[in-house]
Every structure is written in C-alpha cells, then in structure tokens.
Structure 1
Amino acid sequence: MKICFISHSSNLGGAERSLLYLLETLKKIPKMRLCVVLPSDGALGVKLTRARINWIIHPYKWWTVRRGESRRPVNTFFYTHLDSAKRLKNKIEKFHPDLVVTNTSTICIGALVANMLRVPHIWYVRELGEKDHGFIFEFGFAFTAKFINDFSSRVIFNSKAVMKEFGKYILRSKSTVVYNSIRINRKLFIKKLPVTFNYPNAFKLLIAGTISKKKGQLDIIRATSLLLVRKLDVELLILGRCTDDVFMKKIHNLIDQSGKKWRFQVRDFIENPYPLFQQCDAVLVCSKNEAFGRTILEGMLFKKPVIAADGGGVSEIIKHEKNGFLYTHGNYEDLASKIELVMTNSKLRENIAICGFDTAKGKFLNKNYSYKLANIFKSTRVFSSPSKRWVKRLNFNLKQARELGLEFN
C-alpha cells in the first residue's frame, strides 16, 4: 500500500511528532510505502531523512487566520489552494498513492490532491481551532467542517472533545477517535542538562509549550505568586516559544509584580525538554481548551504529578485525584490550592504519579496507536466524491473543475 501524508508544518510540534512516530512504525510493515509532503525545510525533514522516509517540499498555505486578521473571500479559494493543489498533484502522481492523509485541520491541499488523483482521503483533525490554538478558519467553521466531511472518506479525531466540536457537520459513520500516542526515545531520557532550577530545596514547577494567552501561563504565574505569599518554597520554569511580544511583556510584568521575580524563569523552546521534566517536581498544563494534551502524557511518563485546566480533551486523560488533578481555568486560587496539596502530601503525590504513569503507558502506547491507524488506512479503499454543490460554493464552474481534474457527483 502506498500512502502520501501531508503535514502542515516542517517543525516538531505535537502533531508533527505524532506523525513521525506513526511513520516510523508504518515503515516496518511489509509492502507499505510512504511519502511525506512538507511545506519547507525544517526539523521534521531532518528526522524523516534519518528514518529513511521519502519526503518532498511543496509550499502551500493554511486556510486559517488569527482573530483580527482579514479573511479571504471564498472566490480566492481557486487561486490560493486549487492552483497549488494542481501543482502538487503533478509532483506526487508518479508515486501512485492509494491513499492521501492530511495530518491537521489547518490545511486543505491534501483533500484537493486526493480528489484530483481519485484516491481516498483521510483527514486527521487534531485541533479545536480558536479554542485551543487561537486561529479561525478563513472561510468559516461551518464551511470548513462540511468541506472536511465531503472531501474525506474517513475523518479521524484525536479526542472525543474534538469530534464533538465538529460532530454537527461530519457524518458519524465517517468519524473515528484515535488518541495520540506518546513515545520518548530512551536516549532523550538519559541526556543530561545542567541544573536549570535555581533553588535545590524548592518545589519545582514546569509549564512547557507555546507561550500564548490560550495556554494559560498567566494562571500559573499568579498561582505561584500566591504560594510565595503563603511562604511556600516554590520555583516556576516557563518553557516555550512566543511570537506575541505584547503577551510576553505582560508575562514579565506579572512576574515583576510578584516581588520575587528570581523565583521565575522564562526560557525559549528547546528540541529536547525531557531533562527538564526530570528536574521538576510537578508539570502544569493550563490551557483553557486543550484538544488532547501531549504534555500531560509526557509528565506522566516521567512519573510527575500533573495538574491541568479542565477543558477540551484533558478530562479524557486525567481523572481528578486518581491519576492527576484538574482545576478551573482562570481560577488561580484553585490552581494554587492544588499545587499546595501536591507539595504538602508526599504520599498522595507519589500515588498520583504512579497512577499517571500507568495511564500513559497502558493507554497511549505508540505501538497500539500506529497499528490501529494502519488498520484504518488499509480498510479505507473507497474514493469519496463530493457533491456538485461545491462547485458553486467554491465560486467556479464545472468547466474549470474539469480543467483542474476535480471530481464531483
């Protein structure tokens, strides 16, 4: 079987890492041939080369924008996405794929190429959109969700929360939930970093991931400040990349207001954060809505107690006071209370960490994830042709559709 995967990014974020682990497993299956399309050079391409997985570069645009950015009218769809899809189709048709898989909801080019090639398309939806990543679909949510349904033979969601978000527009018969896997290379486990935390006796808190308003770093800064006021010995490390200078300034201002800024660190993204997971005492996930929660599983695998905001797909992983703790997003006093409970009750902390480890290892093993998806891929053999109403929706005519090689029923 030949499968072509389309990635929205060439970086190594959560979706890209899950894709990489999947590809490494699929590669071992007899008669399975793979090709990956990336929008540019990057860290993912380096990893694919090392894994001896074929990949090509083809620049393409996302069909999402940030709130406040201008949206393109639907009549630009033809020029923005269809023209790029036609050029990509010319690149990959020599590979003769049996299936095209799009790894995210942020791009549509894979669905268009699959249609032009008359092969089945699977859409892997991993995001809640504005609720977790702060982006909106440039042609609107309803338009996008209907497009995902009609241009796909199957739609895979990475949590029940994400499936529920799109469920109004996507057929239940096409929908499947497959939780992301987690796998950490043992070499990364044992790699040593200089001690990053400054206070050896402090209770060390780590929040890792994109630094943005949606990710809730302000909650943990306020909670840490409150714990310091209570004379508790804590230290916070915020790790991640930030592209919003205004928000980063707000973070530093809030830290300054604590009166104990030396108890806080803000560090840029690093490719291997796992030595920092080893050094910390608890892992925080403060996103208002998290589609899945990869960092939760990473913390669990390091046998660290995880405290997370109760939103999105988080409660599908954490069972409160059994394998982790949930707090109400925005309520930093609630968060501070959960941290204090973990700090002061060593037996509870140990039990929660062990149960979390068992959850991550038992339910989210990479092998189970990969082979479940492999079975879905192998069983998806029917090309799904969208209705002719999409010709009008996309603001072009049947003649143009035929010239592009698009198929409608």
Structure 2
Amino acid sequence: MNNKKIVFICGGGDSLVRFRLEFIKRFLEQSYEVYAYAPEIRDEFLEELLKLNVKFEKISFQRKNLNPVNTFKSIIDITQKLKLHKPDVVFSYTHKSVVIGSICAYLAKVKSSYSLITGTGHIFDGDTLKQRIQRIIGILGFKIALRFNQKVFFQNPDDLKLFARLKVVSSQRSVLVNGSGVNLELFSVKPLPEEPIFLCLSRLIKSKGLIEYAKAAAITKKKFPSAKFLLYGFPDDHYDSIDEQEIIDNWHSDFGIEYLGFSENPIDTISKCSVYVLLSYNEGTPRSVLEAMSMGRPIITTHVSGCRETVKEEFNGFLVPHKDYEYAASCMMKLMDPELRSKMGKASRIYCEQKYNVHEVNSILLKEMEII
C-alpha cells in the first residue's frame, strides 16, 4: 500500500525548518511522504529537510511581485508539480502562498487543501491609491482561494474576525490555533543576565517597530546609561525597509543601539538578553516572542493583532499602544528592576507552557485535518 502524501507550500524555505519542523515530523510519524515547495532555501536548512527524507521542490514564485504574468507562471509551475506528485493533502502558509497554493491544489484536483493565515501582513496598511488597489486584490485573492480549502487556520482571534467580517471564509471552516507554538524542550529556560539587556530580533522593516524600539532605547538610555539595547536583523526587499547601512552607521550614536546583523542561532541570541522587545504593527503570532517566553524572558510588545495575546499585562510583560515609543520607554524603565525581570521572566515560561506548547498546537491542527 502506498503511503499518503502531503505538500507544504510557502514563500520561504527557511521557515519550513525554523517554524514548521515539528509539524512536518508529525506527518512523517503518520507515514506520510512529505514534499516541500518554496522559491528558495538556504543550504543548511535544505540539509535538515533531506535528513528527514523530505523532498524539496524549488518553485517559480516571487512572494512580493503582483505581476499577473509572473503569478500565472507560478500557478502553472505549481499545478504541474502537484499533478506529478499527486498529494493527498496540500498545506499552504504565508499570504501569496495561501492564495496560489489553494488555487493550484484545486486545479490539480488534490483531495484536501488547508491554509494557515500567519497574519494579515501589509494588505491593510496605508490608504494611498496603490495600497487601496493592493488591498482589493489581496482580499479578492483570499476570497477566491480559500473557498477551495477544507479548513482555514488562524493564529489570532482578530484575523479570524476580520476575515469573517469581510466574508472571506465562513466561520464553519475557520479554526483558531495558538500561533505555531514553540518547542519548550529546545527553547528551554536560560539564566537571565544580571545586566539590563534589551533585545529585538527582526527583519529590517519599519512595520516591525524598529524605529519605535530605537527611540524608546534612546529615552531609556539617557536615564539609565547602563542599559544595553541589541538588535539582530537582516535586510528585506520591502516597501518600508530600513537601510542596513543607515543602522550600522548611525543607530549606535543616535539611539544607543548595538546592531549585530543576522542571528544564526536564536537560542544563543535570546540567551544574551534579560528583556525581549517587539513593537510590531501587526503579526499572526510572533514566533520570536514565543521563543523568548519559552526561555524565560519578560516581554514588551504592542497591543495589536497577534502580539497582544502573548502578554498578560504586568504578569509576564507589558503591552504598548501602537507606535507609542514613549510608553515603550516607560516599560523599559520599569524593567530596569532585576527582581521584576526575574518575576516576569518566570511568568513568561509558565504562560508559554500553558498556551504555546508546539506539540499541543500541532495536535489541534492534525485533528482538524483528520490526520489523527
């Protein structure tokens, strides 16, 4: 008897290892043959997949390009691959991958198709003519594609309510899960440094709240010169990207930010901090925050979709109003107290164990997909 097959479709292959590896392993445990489609993947992450006997297929796909010709080419390429591999299940995540992956699964007559909405991204940003057109296209794309899914998974209640209000997907096919979860064993508790060291891990784009992080750091450092502010990040070709050279040249002198480039190992990086900060404008559920919680770090994040669910106010951290860097600075100053950092760090781990255990999150997904 042939094993069943599943295809994962996403906009970046690295995320298959960084965010979905435990989920992939659950399918392998169920004797599924696993394929992964993405436009690119770093060699070290590809090796991880190949060790598990996951078959990787590079696809014609540009996640930030709305050119209809390129989109049509992507649909043809992915549909042909699906017809060749004949999967029983397709699981798509990240915005454009959800739209194109769901349509291709339908065209290839795949029996079961599922999508994970990892945030609304930038389709609801701004009000220029171009942004309004992109918003209309984005919503229409979701409406067309998600009708082909058996279930659509949401990482936070705000996104689920938004899609319901816009009549993108019915409530009967919508399922709320607690983000992607986090591996509590891998991201185990590490001792807090005695010094007040604040950390942000992020793509170098404004909507991750990096300007607010820098301004809050400058205010805090003026009053508490001993505070350190670390930023690990990497450039992203995005309409609101921040020039990496600008950060390298000016952010230390202007804001007191120590920029350390791309983090190869998030566990080692998070171990260096005593407080984790993410002042993002919008998220599905921020994975870096979950990792920091799991490792016992207090959290400062924004009171916006996806982020607000990770913090119980004054229990494991603080919630900051959107773009309010002065309030963020006041929260940083409160966490100059080492006893409060220790108390909230322990609370983060407890809250993470209660809500974000990756194995429990994956079990919900698998049950809803009728895999187990």
TM-score after normalising by structure 1: 0.77
Partner of 1:290: 283
Q: Structure 1 residue 296: deviation in Å?
A: 1.5
**CA distance in structure 1 between the aligned counterparts of 2:367 and 2:77, rounded to whole angstroms:** 30
The answer to whether the 8 A contact 1:154-1:175 is kept is yes
Is 1:365 matched up with 2:357? yes
CA shift, 1:190, in A, is 10
Q: Residue 165 of structure 1 aligns to which amino acid in structure 2?
A: L
**Aligned-pair CA distance for 1:28:** 1.8
In the alignment, the residues of structure 1 paired with residue 185 and residue 307 of structure 2 have an alpha-carbon distance, to the nearest angstrom, of 24
> Which deviates further from its counterpart, 212-221 or 138-147?
138-147
What CA distance in whole angstroms lies between the structure 1 residues aligned with 2:224 and 2:63?
Answer: 49
Give 2:183's aligned residue.
Answer: 183
Question: How big is the shift at 1:201?
Answer: 6.9
Q: Structure 2 stretches of 5 or more lacking a match? A: none
Q: Which residue number corresponds to residue 173 of structure 1? A: 172
TM-score (norm 2): 0.84
User: Matched residues, percent identical?
Assistant: 20
1:8-407 aligned within 5 A = 8-12=11-15, 17-29=18-30, 31-42=31-42, 43-50=44-51, 52-62=52-62, 64-65=64-65, 71-72=66-67, 76=69, 79-93=72-86, 97-107=87-97, 108-115=99-106, 116-130=108-122, 140-167=137-164, 168=166, 169-179=168-178, 180-183=180-183, 186=186, 202-243=195-236, 247-251=243-247, 252-258=249-255, 261=256, 264-344=257-337, 346-378=338-370
**C-alpha distance 25-46 of structure 1, shift in aligned 2 (>3 A):** same
CA deviation after TM superposition for structure 1 residue 309, in Å: 1.4
**SS of equivalent to 1:127:** coil
Query: What amino acid maps onto 1:11 in structure 2?
Result: D
Partner Cα separation in structure 2 for residue 231 and residue 296 of structure 1: 24
The Cα shift of 1:230 comes to 1.6
Call closer, same or farther: CA 1:175–1:144 in 2, change over 3 Å.
Answer: same
Q: Which has the higher contact order (CA 8 A, sep 6+)?
A: 1
Cα 1:182–1:132 change in 2 (3 A) is farther
Shift of 1:78: 7.4
Structure 1 position 72, deviation (Å): 3.1
| Post-superposition offset of 1:41 | 4.2
Q: Is the 8 A contact 1:45 1:55 kept in 2?
A: no
RMSD, aligned α-carbons: 3.0
Contact kept, 8 Å, 2:119 with 2:282, in 1: the verdict is: no
Count of residues in Structure 1 that have an aligned counterpart in Structure 2:
353
Q: 1:248 to 1:332 in 2, by over 3 A?
A: same
Deviation at 1:254, TM superposition (A): 4.6
Q: CA deviation at 1:185?
A: 6.0
Could you tell me which amino acid in structure 2 is paired with residue 59 of structure 1? I
- Deviations along 1:313-332, one digit per CA (max 9) or x if unpaired, are 11122111122211123222
Q: Distance in 2 between the 1:183 and 1:266 partners?
A: 27
Counterpart Cα distance in 2 of 1:255 and 1:78: 41
1:119-172 C-alpha deviation (Å, 9 max, x unpaired): 121111112120699997587122122123222121111211222332222111
CA shift, 1:231, in A, is 4.0
- Return the index of the structure with the highest Cα Rg: 1
How many angstroms does 1:249 deviate by? Answer: 4.7
2:143 match: secondary structure: helix
Which residue of structure 1 aligns with residue 7 of structure 2?
Answer: 4
